[in-house]
Amino acid sequence: MLDGPPGGGYRSPMRRAHAAEVAVVDLAVCDRCGLCLPLCPPEAIHLELSDLVVDRQACTGCRKCVAPCPVGALAMVDA
């Protein structure tokens, strides 16, 4: 088996207590391109039957997904 994923520190089960902000997606704007998924350090974003889902429990509020979205579909809101 694997030795565990490289950079696996992100995947610690105790990864956050409370983030002040979390990312939300506007599905009317999102094009389902998938670009934001690999940008998210705690892997909190995925697509479900092509609709983007942000796991509010897993999101650390780091904002790494926001600016790269080509259409501006992601924004931060108070957690």
Partner 1 sequence: MPDVDVLVVGAGPAGAVAAAHAKRAAPELDVVLLERDRAVGAPVRCAEGVGDAGLREFAEPDGAPWVARKISRVIFVAPDDSEVKVAERDVGWILDRTRFDAHLAALAVAAGAELLVGTEASGMTRTPDGRWGVAVRGLRGESSYRAKVVIGADGVEAMVGRWAGLDTRVPARDMESCAQYVVQGIDFDPDAIYLQFGDAVAPGGYAWVFPKGVGIANVGLGLVALKSDGRNARQYLDAWVGRRYPGGARTGYTVGGVIVHTTVQQTYADGVLVAGDAAHMINPLSGGGIVNAMKAGRLAGCTAAAAIRAGDTTARRLATYHHAWMALLGQDHLKYYRIKQALETVDDAFFNALARTVNAIPQERRTLGRIFTHALVKHPQLIPVAARFFI
Q: Which of ligand SF4, partner 1, none does residue 13 bind (CB under 5 to 8 Å by kind)?
A: none
Residue 28 carries which side chain, given as an amino acid letter? A
Please state the φ and ψ torsions of residue 29, each to the nearest 5 degrees.
-100, -35
> Which region, judged by CB under 8 A, interacts with partner 1, from 18-26, 53-61, 63-71?
63-71
Instruction: Report the nearest approach of partner 1 to the CB of residue 54 (Å).
Output: 14
Q: Binding of partner 1 at residue 31 (CB under 8 A)? A: yes
Nearer of residues 11 and 63 to ligand SF4, judged by Cβ: 63
Contact call for residue 32 and ligand SF4 (CB under 6 A): yes
Based on the shown chain and the rule CB under 8 A, indicate whether residue 41 belongs to the binding site for partner 1. Answer: yes
Question: Which amino acid is located at 26 in the chain?
Answer: D
| Amino acid at site 30 | C
Each residue of 51-63: b (16+ CB within 10 Å) or e? Answer: ebebeeebbbbbe
Tell the residue number behind the tokens 């080509």, with chain if given.
70
